[in-house]
Structure 1
Amino acid sequence: MIRACRFLAREAGIVQYLDLGSGLPTAENTRQVVQRINPQSRVVYVDNDPTVLAHARALLGRNDRTTIAEADIFQPLAVLRHPVVRDELDFTLPVALFHIGTPHHYLGDHAAAIMQTYIDALPSGSYLTIAHFFDPRTAEHSELAHKMEDKFVHSPMGSGRFRTRDEIQAMFGTLEMVEPGLVLCDDWWPDGPRLAPLADVRHCIVGGIGRKP
């Protein structure tokens, strides 16, 4: 998320961010990273967890360029029509849409269609960022992905689907992928050389950024 924010704020020049399923705002969340680079950046978080909403509203009360909207992120039309989203973001200008660590909590078979509704609403020059639990379909890591999926589904969280590369890539529709494309999150423009092997679980989450022409 931090590396994606740096790229979008510094290199792509994006100043509007719609962060879906943001969870509890913490240090080095979207707003801190992008507003450090450009203080004029505007961030709208979207969540429907009452604890998240209460904490975020208290924390963000001092930041007039960051707010939160209460909505179900898997109901894209409700999100896009939300008055906070419409008031705070200008959809005639590029928007960075974040679905980071969230789409795998949708267990149905329409994830690509849900994402396409968001993509259709974005203006030209916008970006979509996704990070998603991943079933690599390899002898080394596929069994681990299945075990983790079962553990997530039967935990208090209740969800965590490990999709294949093709399933996750389909969520970007026809967007132009930013290099290096859809890769392990650790391989998306790392901050430096890797000095130790990746833990097995880190082979089971991928991410990428797509641009709308």
Structure 2
Amino acid sequence: MRLPAAPSPALPGPAEPAGFSGPPGLRRTAAFLAFSTVAALTAGWPLVARAVPDGEGLGAGQVLRLGPISTQRVSLRVTGVGWRLSRDRSDTGTDFVLTRDGIRLRASRVGLTRPQDADRLWTGLRQVLRASDGGARLGAPRVVRTDTGRAGQTGSVSEGGRSGRAFAFASPARDYGLQVVVLGEPGADAGALREGYALARTAVFAREGV
């Protein structure tokens, strides 16, 4: 999944990616979420890069942390075996891509300027997907919970001939969030896909004690 390019820092605010629609307030919020996903990709990647060489397999139970400082991080625990870190398809910040047997998992930390923006993480994710691929589809969300009980949203997703599920969770203080998209090629192993979904649900935010 290619995210839309961030606007020049000289501009007064983020430009709306192509394909945005809806009320002006919603467009601004979705544009901000898309911009935040890209603009935040500058600090957390070294935490992962130092720990895992490019292409090296990840062990079951290995913890990956995203975020610039310890109080702003979210952790994910590798579920199952066979996952590999794809640094060449990841950005140098709080965003990483894991691959396994025709499955791609992208996890992105998204900064939020207002607590109410946490309620629009799903809308922002839909706009990001459509801006990068006009044929991408994100289904209606339903409630899902992390392994620690934090409520979030999940729904079906399809992009570029792949299909799977997406997840969105907000931090306890609603000042940043996590978006995870798990996509499998046609015929991808169903068990591996389920482990990708389970990996998304391992999310633990800093203020939850990790």
Structure with the bigger percentage of strand: 2
**What is the TM-score normalised by the length of structure 1?**
0.26
**What is the TM-score normalised by the length of structure 2?**
0.26
Q: Whose RCO is larger (CA < 8 A, sep 6+)?
A: 2
Greater Rg, structure 1 or structure 2? 1
